[in-house]
A and B are shown apart, each in its own frame.
Chain A
Amino acid sequence: MAKRPKILLLDDEQDLLDLYQEILSQLPQQPEITLCNSGARALALLEGEPYQLMISDLRMPKIDGLQVLSIVRRKLPELRIIIMTSMVDEQYRSRAYAMGVDLFWEKPNTPDEIKMFQDCVAGFLDRDEKAGGFRGMQSKSLVDLVQLECLSKNSSLLRIINGALEGKIWIQEGDIVDAKAGELEGEPAFKEIFSWRNGNFEIYPPDSARTRTIHASHHALLLDTAQAMDEADNEAEEKRTEALAKAATSSLSPYASFEGVDFALTVTLDKKVESWGVDHPSAMGEWILETEKHLSALGEKLAVGDLNLVTGQGLQNRVAVARGQTAHLCIGFKRALDNEQVGDTMKQIQSKWAS
């Protein structure tokens, strides 16, 4: 059975998240859809597991869609991103595209628009991710792009961006004359750029004054880079394994495996906060300490025994706070869970936390 693609839906309005989930669940690929209502939570989720596509709103409190986009683009250049917004503004559209978004959509309102949106997302999910592709010419690889320029005897400067990395290739009358990627120059830089599978490119007017440092033909260079790309594959796999291992070492990330958990935070009595997926960890840490202090004093006054658990329901989440001997634990749950489910899951998490 084919692996179901994973989509992350990010919007601060729960009703819209539910609606998009319903729309996308009708896709033929039957994607696994994760709902998320804050930028910080989205970043935590993306670090924890691989997603094929993220669909994000633009206007959100705390971290807006453009901020999320800039962080995600730098960290995960291979992730496809669709912006869905009601702000039909050319400035936002061009900014989003400049930051490497794959598609900028106005939120669909009519059945026809919804159908077009479904077709578009289905098209994204059908793409072979291993084939890579540079935004602006998604069906072409960088090899195709350079060959096209060289065979056409063009003179141009190619600027390639892959997350935080930037490379340049100078072409004069169909010959590759120089390349630069970070500190690297010449052929090593050219090979480095070709080891990036995804990214954005821009074509600038030629720089005729550029000194020639590459003398090999473009055929020879491209053959060499095929080998470099194979090596890059292996390195990328190693980096990915390393990143996943790093995410797994966070002491709070294991709680994400419990059903309905959205975020986690611990705060020690001396105010040291550790968090996973929380927007304002220090403010929340202070709230937990204050709350525990007030409610413990109340418990003593009423003589009703120890404070076992405090749960709360907000607009977007449910939270549960449990006390330990030297620290307090706060877990955020999805709003859809009921009090009983929150209580049961919290008991399991508490026993894991205590151990």
Chain B
Amino acid sequence: MGFLSRFTTKTAAVEETTHLTRLTSGSFTVDAKGHVVASTLPGTFPAEHVNAIAQAVLSTFQNAQKAQLPLSEIIISYAALKISARELRGGAIIFLAPKKL
């Protein structure tokens, strides 16, 4: 048992230091101020991440408008996550879809 406990102890330590969050699929809607109005994301997905995504998406739409390039939809492709957003009267509906290998 002493041999196995070495592995379990190490894994727990890694999780604690990197704070890895499981990526989830789902959608949420934010108003023009970035407040979440509705969400289908699981409760385990951190609110901090939801807010960060909302702010990044809203500022992308707003800055595009300032650059005289008004956008109604954006798709942001990361290596492991695809974020799709549709503009809704200053707010947005945002979809998260983790990429599968």
Is there contact, CB below 8 Å, between A280 and B76?
no
Which residues of chain B come closer than 8 Å to A301, judged between CB atoms?
49, 52
Is there contact, CB below 8 Å, between B78 and A294?
no
Known contacts A310-B74, A313-B73: A304-B60 contact under CB 8 Å: no
Which residues of chain A come closer than 8 Å to B79, judged between CB atoms?
304-306, 308
Is there contact, CB below 8 Å, between B68 and A303?
no
Interface residues contributed by chain B, number (CB under 8 Å): 28
Is there contact, CB below 8 Å, between A314 and B53?
no
Which residues of chain B come closer than 8 Å to A286, judged between CB atoms?
63, 67
Which residues of chain B come closer than 8 Å to A307, judged between CB atoms?
76-78
Is there contact, CB below 8 Å, between B67 and A284?
yes
* A298 touches which of B52, B63, B75, B80 (Cβ 8 Å): B52
A299 closest partner in B (C-beta): B78
Enumerate 28 A-B pairs (CB-CB under 8 Å) in ascending A order: A283-B66, A284-B69, A287-B64, A287-B66, A287-B69, A291-B60, A295-B56, A297-B56, A298-B53, A298-B56, A302-B53, A303-B18, A304-B81, A305-B78, A305-B79, A305-B81, A307-B76, A308-B78, A310-B74, A311-B75, A312-B64, A312-B71, A313-B73, A314-B69, A314-B72, A315-B70, A319-B71, A339-B75
Taking the closest CB of chain A, its distance from the CB of B59, in whole angstroms, is 6
Q: Does B37 count as interface, using CB distance less than 8 angstroms? A: no
Q: Does B23 count as interface, using CB distance less than 8 angstroms? A: yes
Is there contact, CB below 8 Å, between A309 and B70?
no
* B68 touches which of A62, A294, A295, A309 (Cβ 8 Å): A62
Q: Does A224 count as interface, using CB distance less than 8 angstroms? A: no
Which residues of chain B come closer than 8 Å to A279, judged between CB atoms?
68
6 nearest A-B residue pairs (beta carbon): A305-B79, A287-B67, A304-B81, A312-B71, A304-B78, A283-B67
Q: Does B4 count as interface, using CB distance less than 8 angstroms? A: no
Known contacts A303-B20, A312-B73, A314-B71: A291-B80 contact under CB 8 Å: no
B23 closest partner in A (C-beta): A304
Q: Does A290 count as interface, using CB distance less than 8 angstroms? A: yes
Taking the closest CB of chain B, its distance from the CB of A136, in whole angstroms, is 38
Which residues of chain B come closer than 8 Å to A339, judged between CB atoms?
75
Is there contact, CB below 8 Å, between B78 and A313?
no
Taking the closest CB of chain A, its distance from the CB of B5, in whole angstroms, is 28
Is there contact, CB below 8 Å, between A310 and B75?
yes
Is there contact, CB below 8 Å, between A314 and B63?
no
Cα distance A287–B64 when bound, in Å? Answer: 6
Is there contact, CB below 8 Å, between A295 and B76?
yes
B48 closest partner in A (C-beta): A301
* B71 touches which of A298, A308, A313 (Cβ 8 Å): A313
* A319 touches which of B59, B69, B80 (Cβ 8 Å): B69
A285 closest partner in B (C-beta): B67
Interface residues of B in 49-101 (CB under 8 A from A): 49, 52-53, 56, 59-60, 63-64, 66-81
Which residues of chain A come closer than 8 Å to B73, judged between CB atoms?
312-313
Is there contact, CB below 8 Å, between B77 and A308?
yes
Cα distance A304–B79 when bound, in Å? Answer: 6
